[in-house]
A and B are shown apart, each in its own frame.
Chain A
């Protein structure tokens, strides 16, 4: 992992953010709503509209507006929400922290379930447990989050009354209650990833177990357990890092839906609210922060991968 490689990766993250900023700005420009009308609602008078347009620079040429926005971003500001009149940046980062709690818990749950499931399926290839694991993963990739979430809600919250239906309790206020509220969202989000990752682990395990390397280890007389845990697992799990990083994309998408259904005031919900209210600064900030999170997650995954796998050359 040379300095040059790191610098190149950082540059790529920067380029990614630039492209995303252009994309997001472009999309918000064609959103079918007049930002000034959005801001003033039912009571917009022509005089008030003109004043707002001037204040927001809405009559400037588009490239100039983009430039002003970019300059503001570089100063670390995201602008002022049209809906609340509050600065967007802090609002979105607070929301992001709540979403990250859901995301991290989901990844943890996913790893706890998916890795053993994948290994088991690989070791018992073709048997009932393998088929069962396959079925689970099929359901996982075939059920959209909003269906999983509403079905879980129906079963565990409405019929069985085991868990609170929706809502969010800040972790600092009542940790236990907060976690109880997060159970359903976390299960929902992790299900898709369990499907992906358990399949990945299974196929990697099958490969590794059949490789000369493991056969050699077995011939050396090492126990099955040692072979499995010391050698096979390490090699099989390496690619999992990559797929988890890639799955952060699904994760963030899934979080939008899950936050909407379970009324969690995270960044996904903020984005939906912003899109509905045509709150352009909030949409821009939210989308950019989400994409940034994804880019950084991939960057970190790359570094982790490089550190763990000395065999790969980076130039």
Chain B
């Protein structure tokens, strides 16, 4: 693990991603403690105050401090996106592995059905599920997880199938190595690596889809300071207070970039043979 971390740090993407994600983790853990103001405190005279000494990133239509809302909002945005991805990956992995294990007609039926479900654009599926379950952050998380599951099932299935056929496994068997040694030493890292990379990149997607749901009014609800919702609330005031919109937009982008970079960094760190 430490070896992996060191390798990750050596690539520029890896180092940058670690820096970004540390910053975000910091905001998630300490956000409410370091927020300069109460994120929900309304201030009649401070409405639409531009960024400055009083509000570093400006204030919104109710006079609430944008920076404080951003810091506190990290908690309602990032952990839920992570949870959604993990849940989706887990479900997908179970289905995918099961499909690969069953093989034959079952595999065919499951995969064709998954293909069919994937014909519904991911965002639309998430929208429909979020609407059906009711508007809330928790339900939006479930919706993202369900929308992710088919894609992850596909990935895990193909990985499981290739790993089974891999030469090095046969070679290990031919060398006469014991069963659990093969699984631990040869198969597991090869199964886990692609899944971990895919999962990491998907966290970036989850952050975006989750924020999009909130933006469309189907995720987090006011007065929450979820970032997508903040953008949605800022939209009518585009002319008079653009800072209300730029700050949360940049935060979402930074998070997505962080996880995308981490995914790429992990790919390089885990597959040193791939020179691309």
Q: Are A15 and B112 in contact (CB under 8 A)?
A: yes
Which residue of B131, B216, B231, B276 contacts A206 across the interface (Cβ within 8 Å)?
Answer: B276
Q: How far is it, in angstroms, between the C-alpha of A142 and the C-alpha of B211 when the chains are bound?
A: 12
Majority SS at the chain A contact face: helix
Contact A27 B118 (CB under 8 A): no
Name the A residues within 8 Å of B116 (CB-CB).
Answer: 15-20, 295
Chain A residues near B212 (CB, 8 Å)? 144-146, 257
B87-125, CB under 8 A of A: which get 1 and which 0?
000000000000000000000000011011111111110
Please tell me if the beta carbons of B256 and A141 are within 8 angstroms of each other in the complex: yes
- Which interface residue of A253, A272, A276 has the most chain B CB atoms within 10 A? A253
Contact stretch, chosen from B25-33, B35-43, B244-252: B244-252
CB under 8 Å from chain A, chain B span 210-262: 211-212, 215-218, 228, 231-232, 234-235, 238-239, 242, 245-246, 249, 252-253, 256-257, 260-261
Which residues of chain B come closer than 8 Å to A291, judged between CB atoms?
119-121
B256-A144 in contact (CB<8A): yes
Known contacts A257-B123, A260-B216; is A153 also within 8 Å of B238 by CB? yes
Q: Let me know if A94 is at the binding interface, CB within 8 A.
A: no
24 contacts across the A-B interface (CB closer than 8 A): A12-B112, A15-B116, A16-B119, A23-B117, A24-B128, A27-B128, A28-B128, A139-B253, A142-B253, A142-B257, A143-B252, A144-B256, A146-B212, A147-B252, A150-B235, A154-B246, A206-B276, A256-B127, A257-B123, A257-B212, A257-B216, A275-B128, A276-B217, A283-B128
B interface residue count range (under 10 / 10 to 19 / 20 to 34 / 35 or more): 35 or more
Cβ-closest chain A residue relative to B261: A138
Could you tell me if B121 and A253 are in contact, using CB atoms closer than 8 angstroms?
A: yes
Give residues in B with beta carbon < 8 Å to A: 112-113, 115-124, 127-129, 131-134, 204, 208-209, 211-212, 215-218, 228, 231-232, 234-235, 238-239, 242, 245-246, 249, 252-253, 256-257, 260-261, 276
A287 in complex: contacting residue of B124, B234, B276, CB < 8 Å: B124
A206 partner residues in chain B, CB cutoff 8 A: 276
Give Cα A128–Cα B170 distance, bound, in whole angstroms: 44
Please state if A31 and B276 are interface contacts (CB–CB under 8 Å). Answer: no
Point out the residues of chain A lying under 8 angstroms from B121, CB to CB: 249-250, 252-253, 256, 290-291, 294
Q: Given A32, A151, A153, A294, which contacts B119 in the complex, CB threshold below 8 Å?
A: A294
Binding site for B on A (CB under 8 A): 12, 15-20, 23-24, 27-28, 30-32, 138-139, 141-147, 150-151, 153-154, 158, 203, 206, 249-250, 252-254, 256-257, 260-261, 271-272, 275-276, 283, 287, 290-292, 294-295, 298
Complex-state Cα separation, A147 to B119, whole angstroms = 25
User: Is B204 touching A141 in the complex (CB atoms < 8 A)?
Assistant: yes
The verdict on A31 contacting B216 (CB below 8 Å), with A143-B253, A147-B253 known, is no
Given the contacts A144-B252, A147-B252, A295-B119, A272 and B216 also touching, CB distance less than 8 Å: yes
Shortest B16–chain A CB gap in Å is 10
CB distance from A47 to the nearest CB of B (A): 29
A154 with B204, Cβ < 8 A, contacts A144-B211, A252-B124 known: no
